[in-house]
Amino acid sequence: MIRNLTLIVLLLLICAVAAPAQQASPPTADAGRQAQLSVLSILPAQGEPGTTVTLNGTGFTSTTTVMLGSKELPAQIVGGRVMTFELPELPPGAYALTLKREDGAATRPFNFVLQAQKPVASSLTPDTITICATGREREVLVNGANFRNGSRVILDGAVVATRFISPVTLAFTAPTLQAGMHQVQVRTLSEATSSALALFIDAKPEIANVSVGREFVNYYELIVTGRNFRQNSVLVVDGKRLATGKQLVGEREQLVYGGCNQLTYLRFPYDPTPKEITLQVVNQSGEESALFTISAP
């Protein structure tokens, strides 16, 4: 009896050891499936070419592509939930933004506005022109970025003839302008406009030198050289104002206009002894030169 029980126990133990291990539960239908491809935010939601756009979402992989309209764009994965890409050179307007993955998953299209690339005007060379400047002296270079063939210089709100040199340089010739500050901007064909720069027209007269010219029986010439002299400039001699104009018979103390850089003062001295004479040029617009002192009869 005992022997029979012992055999039964041994048989049970043998069966237990020989029984196959319990199989692991079969994988679920979702095992190995990638996370759902989705976009939670787009920053910024609009921008101009060259702007970096950041997408936050789920299911991004190294082979996930960005489609802007029909154009596929290179993108970078920053972690598993962030993707960045750079806006391309495309005409401005609204585009459908979509993500696609290698397994065929795709997001719904998002509306993205590509703005016109704004030109950047950073400096003028030169930024100051004398009112008497002529020819090449009046040519101004506009330095900046994002210039295109067809970009135009806007001077005080009006378009001026513009020469395209490169994407960073435009040129124009300043027309005759009043003295003072003037506004320069750049506008592209898409009407994107840069911020304004200041162009200064300098009309302040300046006396560089005064020398004795020809001598006559009862008068002599004082040659005043400098810049920004005008046809209607006035020469102030020791407080006495002399207007420019043609020499008249019988009149004394005349001022002859010789151009932007020269005035000739016809002086009738009552005494040949040299003395200090103080000169100043004043333009009709009110600009005054510094005082200039010379020793002459």
Domains and CATH numbers, the chain: 38-114 (2.60.40.10), 120-202 (2.60.40.10), 206-296 (2.60.40.10)
Could you report the per-residue pLDDT of 130-174, keeping only the tens digit for each? 999 999 999 999 999 999 899 999 999 999 999 999 999 999 999
Q: Is residue 244 very low, low, confident or very high in pLDDT (cuts 50, 70, 90)?
A: confident
Residues in the chain: 297
Of 24-33, 117-126, 191-200, the least confident: 24-33
Buried b (16+ CB within 10 A) or exposed e, 53-71: bebbbebbbeebbbbbbee
Q: Which tokens is 257 given? A: 């206009």
pTM of the model: 0.67
The conformation of residue 244, written as its DSSP 8-state character, comes to B
What is the average pLDDT across 13-39?
Answer: 53
Counting Cβ atoms within 10 Å, is residue 211 exposed (0-12), middle (13-18) or buried (19+)? exposed
Q: Which strands make up the sheet holding 292-296, listed edge to edge?
A: 240-243, 234-237, 275-282, 292-296
CB 147 within 8 A of CB 171: no
pLDDT at position 234 over 60: yes
Joined tokens for residue 178: 């009043």
The answer to whether 125 and 140 have CB atoms below 8 angstroms apart is: yes
Using pLDDT thresholds of 50, 70 and 90, give the confidence band for residue 6. Answer: very low
Contact 229, 243 (CB under 8 A): no
Average pLDDT over residues 27-39: 63
Task: Find the angle CA(92)-CA(94)-CA(98) to the nearest 5 degrees.
Answer: 120
Res 245: pLDDT: 65
Token match 């022109």: residue? Answer: 129
Residue 212: both structure tokens together: 């004795």
Spatial contact of 35 and 105, defined as CB atoms under 8 Å apart: no
CA-based end-to-end distance of the chain:
160
Specify the higher pLDDT residue, 30 or 51. Answer: 51
